Amino acid sequence: MNEMSRLPAPVEPGAPPRRRRQARSGTFGVLDIGSTKVVCLIARIESDGSPRVLGFGWQRGRGVKGGSITDLEEADRAIRAAVGQAEEMADTRLSGVIANLSCGQPDSRQLNIQWGIGGRAVTEGDLRAILHEGRRRTAEDGRETVHAIPLGFTVDATPGVEDPRSMICDTLGARLHMVSAAQASLRNLGACLLRCDLEVEELVSAPFAAGLATLVEDEKQLGATVIDMGGGTTSLAVFSEGHLVHTAQIAVGGGQVTNDIATVLSTPVAHAERIKTLHGSVHGGADDDREFLPVPLLGEDEHAIARIPRAMVVGIIKPRIEETFELVRERLEAAGLGREGGARVVLTGGASQLVGVREMAARILDRQVRLGRPLAVRGLAEAASGPAFAGAVGLLLWGAGEGRPVLDIAPGPLRSENAFRRFVNWVRDRV
């Protein structure tokens, strides 16, 4: 499939602009905070409904481990630098951002809620009450709801209803997908961004964002699993019938592969990353035993160079990637999604670019696998258009209204007092 086939359809002459639900107006910023890099993009929505990048900033990740902030000072520096680069390029200043969620041990579960209507028409208030009930059940476990996605409603005995408003029934059943995170981790994220003079305007699940950036519409409808292979974590998002139905996260990523190489070969981490990038593979070749790679040794002078066969590098990388996909398979089986998970897997993220990863994933997961690059976005540099930037591009698309629920059933008067504003207020009272 070529990239042009994945671009949004052009607007017909004379047709009204295509603007998605809850699309941002004006200029907005997104922030992808990862273990290995921090990316800030500033964009605006064009007349055809698609985003145009105005500013781009990138910094090596610091103070983040396994998706969670572990050092406020270091994370602060990296975020400030990335945001500053983007603001300078866009000639604008951000007061808030759409950020990715990879901290707080993200949890995904589906709730079935039965709500008494009593023979009258379903109202907006009923839908809000159902949403409140879902959030209440999530909060009981010390967690905060990030996404509450309605997957479908049952009106009395009639299932498969997408919008039950104004329909008359005795009982309304709702199937909700709740994505939540530990409150303490979200407070640390809020505290870190508050130090950078930024507010979290919205939080988006990291694998959800990667899926928005890499899946075509038919994959979302027929069922597909996105596996985002990042530096500190590997996360997955399952789509079916156009909805996000499951997410999970594994604390294993490309950074562990780099550390394995550095440990076994006794070489600096920076050189281990270079070896992985230039020579990394998960399956051997005929000449691997005869191809020798120079490896500087820890603590030795610059002339102390060892030479190791490329086959040794493959032998270090392969077990770790196998472990990663076996853990992914276990998570998918434990979710019990069955046919909802689809027969297709899309790999993205920086670690997905290792040679042979696609074939290994197909063998271990027993599914069709393709490598996913993010959709082309106007104004985004070619250097930032690879799989490693899928999450950041997905956040842009979310800002343009992509992936938002058909029904906006967020609590009306309480909507501005969302989880992240509460966290900002909580931090402001204590910092």
Q: Where are the domains of the chain?
A: 107-182
pLDDT digits (tens, 9 = 90+) for 117-167: 999 999 988 998 998 888 888 887 778 888 888 888 999 989 989 889 999
Spatial distance between the Cα atoms of 219 and 51, rounded to a whole number of angstroms: 22
Edge-first strand listing for the sheet containing 234-240: 243-250, 234-240, 224-229, 344-348, 368-371
Q: How far apart are CA 100 and CA 397, in angstroms?
A: 13
What is the spatial distance between Cα 6 and Cα 1, in angstroms, rounded to a whole number? 8
Q: How far is CA 13 from each of CA 10, 48, 427, rounded to the nearest angstrom?
A: 9, 11, 50
Closest CA to 310 of 346, 349, 271, 283: 283
Q: In what order do the strands lie in the sheet with 199-205?
A: 51-60, 37-45, 27-33, 96-101, 199-205
Q: What is the pTM of this model?
A: 0.85
Residue 325 and residue 360 in contact, taking contact as beta carbons nearer than 8 Å: yes
Written out in words, the top-level CATH class of the domain with range 107-182 is alpha beta
> Three-state secondary structure along the chain?
CCHHHHCCCCCCCCCCCCCCCCCCCCEEEEEEECCCEEEEEEEEECCCCCEEEEEEEEEECCCEECCEECCHHHHHHHHHHHHHHHHHHHCCCCCEEEEEECCCCCEEEEEEEEEEEEEEECCHHHHHHHHHHHHHHHHCCCEEEEEEEEEEEEECCEEEECCCCCCEEEEEEEEEEEEEEEHHHHHHHHHHHHHCCCEEEEEEEHHHHHHHHHCCHHHHHHCEEEEEECCCCEEEEEEECCEEEEEEEECCCHHHHHHHHHHHHCCCHHHHHHHHHHHCECCCCCCCCCCEEEEECCCCCCCCEEEEEHHHHHHHHHHHHHHHHHHHHHHHHHHCCHHHHCCEEEEECHHHHCECHHHHHHHHHCCEEEECCCCCCECCCHHHCCHHHHHHHHHHHHHCCCCCCCCCCCCCCCCCCCHHHHHHHHHHHHC
pLDDT at residue 186, rounded to an integer: 81
Task: Measure CA of the first residue to CA of the last residue in the chain; give whole Å.
Answer: 51
Contact 41, 26 (CB under 8 A): no
Predicted local confidence at residue 213, as pLDDT: 95
Which pLDDT tens digits describe the chain residue by residue (431 residues)?
444 444 444 444 433 344 455 677 789 999 999 888 999 999 999 888 889 999 999 999 888 887 788 888 898 999 999 999 999 999 999 999 999 877 767 888 889 999 999 999 999 889 989 988 888 888 877 788 888 888 889 999 899 898 899 999 999 999 999 888 887 788 888 888 888 888 888 889 999 999 999 999 999 999 999 999 988 889 999 999 888 999 999 988 888 999 999 999 999 999 999 999 888 889 877 788 888 999 998 888 777 788 999 999 999 999 999 999 999 999 998 888 877 777 899 999 988 999 999 999 999 999 999 999 998 899 998 888 889 999 999 999 999 988 887 665 544 333 334 545 555 554 444 44
Q: In angstroms, how far is CA 12 from the centroid of its own chain?
A: 32
- Between CA 384 and CA 111 the distance in angstroms is 38
Nearest by Cα to 149 from 354, 408, 418, 425? 408
Express each pLDDT in 30-43 by its tens digit. Answer: 999 988 899 999 99
Supply 291's token pair. 């191809």
> According to the model, what pLDDT value does residue 146 have?
85
Q: Cα dist. 65→36, 136, 233, 317 in Å?
A: 9, 30, 9, 20
Tens digit of each residue's pLDDT (9 = 90 or more) over 287-334:
888 889 999 988 887 777 889 999 999 999 999 999 999 999 999 988
For residues 401 and 406, give the distance between their C-alpha atoms in angstroms, rounded to a whole number: 11
The predicted-structure confidence for 398-412, as pLDDT tens digits, reads as follows 999 888 876 655 443
Quote the longest CA-to-CA distance of the chain.
84
* Total length of the chain: 431
pLDDT of residue 304: 76
